[in-house]
A and B are shown apart, each in its own frame.
Chain A
């Protein structure tokens, strides 16, 4: 049970630390344009900087086109994390709708949906992605998000359906039914808030799997396309560059590893404590610094206002 033990004395410490790590990685990705020393696509010096090992000027080295790998890893993280996080949001959203609907409808609908999910789960996801990406050619990022998101929600839907069925059997749900609450109200008030712990535990794990999936596609040349940087495309550059250029695979690989491990630890132990504090509705997605998904509360944009613009009103400048 105590897989977080290496991180701290209690599981809680490990989980909190993992969320911090995820937050820092997300922040690094979000602020990549300000943090990266060079533009990710700039070919700085095709001859002098061709596949150079790490140095003070280029801590992560340079690639075959004389591009700064640190800058590419930062920018690549932006793309990889954004694509993965949005794909997870899409997938979890669809999974929640389908799972809750199946459980709330019950009976034949429930059985039908579950059989369909089992069939869908039997088809290897990577195969679907490779076929779709191979057939329709290189996919734009938005389509990639949809394709990855829509191909990986079946297991989550099944878990949501199971959990929902259990929750709908609770006494307080029957009690609410007995007071005349209809199904939509039951779902909104008595089901969704209780699904939050499950979903927040599944989301990071799902993120880890999706990131690996995205990088895998990039590696196969089916995901984000070069010259745009993503962790997958940098890995691909590393493979083409040959075994000597270890910095091209180690650094993006390490970045991915950090995110994946942190995501698993974060998802490991997340239970009841968060449920107690919730009132109505579902929580705001926790991945900080990502482009705000549609439907996020407006104040999410406010806090993401450009840091450079000082809040000076015109009147205060008047003489």
Chain B
């Protein structure tokens, strides 16, 4: 049993994570470039960013599951419960996956095998990790399905994915992830494919389960509404880097990075319904086509010559709140003060 805040070491610590894909002219393209963040037990951390910023890849890399031909570069560190995951042999990493740290996928429509019953697929996880008979595994699967709010779980378990609604399928995926009682759950856009009412139900379920089990939750999303509702801390990614991180209240109240400000401004608000939505100009450049210096400078209204010259470091804004921007550099902050 892990006790929240009992140990100073975080549950999951990602450091200098770099994922590269072979590119043209034998020059590897880094899709994730030096990402670092931590998740504590009992904490919900939201990883936010536009499509293509490296969120999902970061999640997969945490499990050592980067798709071919991607490679996790040397020097990357993913420490889970004090164990360096990336240094473990694949067999031991596999014993942890689905058992101590689990992943919920984005697409409930495609993440279930269409020719196996859903109960079978949940029970499978039990059979992989525990010495359980078919009957025991099935019983645990049904109990877990019940727990994630699948009504009449015993009957549902015998159904095939195509017989279930999207919301139910997402619950099945959550049951698959949680059946072994993991210490950390990584949920990659778990509500993106669902309609709004079901979204709210699934989020509420995740919150309840996190509270009940004391697990850490790394929630990947591009939906700032979800972030506001769920997160303790937020990590904002852009172009494969962490550009801002901090407690959710601080980050929403005083976003320090122009990109975060842009994201927040692009959100529709109920209190000013007639105001036009702000958009961030341009689109996320493809990995390998990022500009020199700060990768956001092409789209940034505040870009200066300094931004092209050097990539900014993560500067502290307030304790626990940091942003990767020259504007919050100590010198600039000193001048402003």
Could you list which residues of chain A lie within 8 angstroms of chain B, going by C-beta atoms?
106-107, 169-172, 174-182, 185, 189-190, 193-194, 275-276, 278-279
Question: Do A181 and B124 touch (CB < 8 A)?
Answer: yes
Which residues of chain B come closer than 8 Å to A176, judged between CB atoms? Answer: 113, 124
Could you list 22 examples of A-B contacts with CB < 8 Å? A107-B68, A169-B67, A172-B110, A172-B113, A174-B105, A174-B111, A175-B173, A177-B97, A178-B63, A178-B65, A178-B103, A178-B105, A179-B98, A179-B124, A179-B177, A180-B95, A180-B99, A181-B98, A182-B128, A275-B114, A276-B115, A279-B115
Question: Do B110 and A182 touch (CB < 8 A)?
Answer: no
Q: B81: shortest Cβ distance to chain A, in Å?
A: 16
Which residues of chain A come closer than 8 Å to B102, judged between CB atoms? Answer: 178-179
In the bound assembly, the distance between CA atoms of A172 and B97 in angstroms comes to 15
Nearest to B59 among chain A residues (CB) is: A178
In the bound assembly, the distance between CA atoms of A169 and B68 in angstroms comes to 10
In the bound assembly, the distance between CA atoms of A175 and B186 in angstroms comes to 12
Main secondary structure of the interface of A (DSSP, over half): helix
Q: B55: shortest Cβ distance to chain A, in Å?
A: 15
| 8 A Cβ contacts from B66-107 to A | 67-69, 94-99, 102-103, 105, 107
Which residues of chain A come closer than 8 Å to B114, judged between CB atoms? Answer: 172, 275-276
6 shortest A-B CB distances, which residue pairs?
A: A179-B98, A180-B98, A171-B110, A180-B97, A178-B103, A175-B111
Nearest to B105 among chain A residues (CB) is: A175
Pick the contact of A180: B68, B69, B96, B110 (CB < 8 A): B96
Nearest to A277 among chain B residues (CB) is: B115
Which residues of chain B come closer than 8 Å to A181, judged between CB atoms? Answer: 94, 98, 124, 128
Main secondary structure of the interface of B (DSSP, over half): loop
Q: B121: shortest Cβ distance to chain A, in Å?
A: 8
In the bound assembly, the distance between CA atoms of A179 and B113 in angstroms comes to 13
Question: Do A106 and B68 touch (CB < 8 A)?
Answer: yes
Could you list which residues of chain B lie within 8 angstroms of chain A, going by C-beta atoms?
60, 63, 65, 67-69, 94-99, 102-103, 105, 107, 110-116, 124-125, 128-129, 160, 173, 176-177
Q: A52: shortest Cβ distance to chain B, in Å?
A: 57
Q: A180: shortest Cβ distance to chain B, in Å?
A: 4
Of A175, A185, A276, chain B has the most CB atoms within 10 Å of the CB of A175
Q: A139: shortest Cβ distance to chain B, in Å?
A: 41
Question: Do B115 and A194 touch (CB < 8 A)?
Answer: yes
Which residues of chain A come closer than 8 Å to B69, judged between CB atoms? Answer: 107
Question: Do B111 and A171 touch (CB < 8 A)?
Answer: yes
Q: A244: shortest Cβ distance to chain B, in Å?
A: 57
In the bound assembly, the distance between CA atoms of A275 and B65 in angstroms comes to 28
Nearest to B128 among chain A residues (CB) is: A180
Question: Do B99 and A171 touch (CB < 8 A)?
Answer: no
Question: Do B97 and A190 touch (CB < 8 A)?
Answer: no
Which residues of chain B come closer than 8 Å to A189, judged between CB atoms? Answer: 113, 116, 124
In the bound assembly, the distance between CA atoms of A180 and B91 in angstroms comes to 9
In the bound assembly, the distance between CA atoms of A25 and B125 in angstroms comes to 46
Q: B250: shortest Cβ distance to chain A, in Å?
A: 32
In the complex where A171-B105, A172-B112, A275-B115 touch, is A179 in contact with B65 (Cβ < 8 A)? Answer: no
In the bound assembly, the distance between CA atoms of A181 and B123 in angstroms comes to 12
Question: Do B115 and A174 touch (CB < 8 A)?
Answer: no
Q: B179: shortest Cβ distance to chain A, in Å?
A: 9
Question: Do B115 and A193 touch (CB < 8 A)?
Answer: yes
In the bound assembly, the distance between CA atoms of A185 and B128 in angstroms comes to 9
Question: Do A180 and B111 touch (CB < 8 A)?
Answer: no
Which residues of chain B come closer than 8 Å to A276, judged between CB atoms? Answer: 114-115, 160
Which residues of chain B come closer than 8 Å to A275, judged between CB atoms? Answer: 114-115
In the bound assembly, the distance between CA atoms of A278 and B114 in angstroms comes to 10
In the bound assembly, the distance between CA atoms of A279 and B119 in angstroms comes to 13
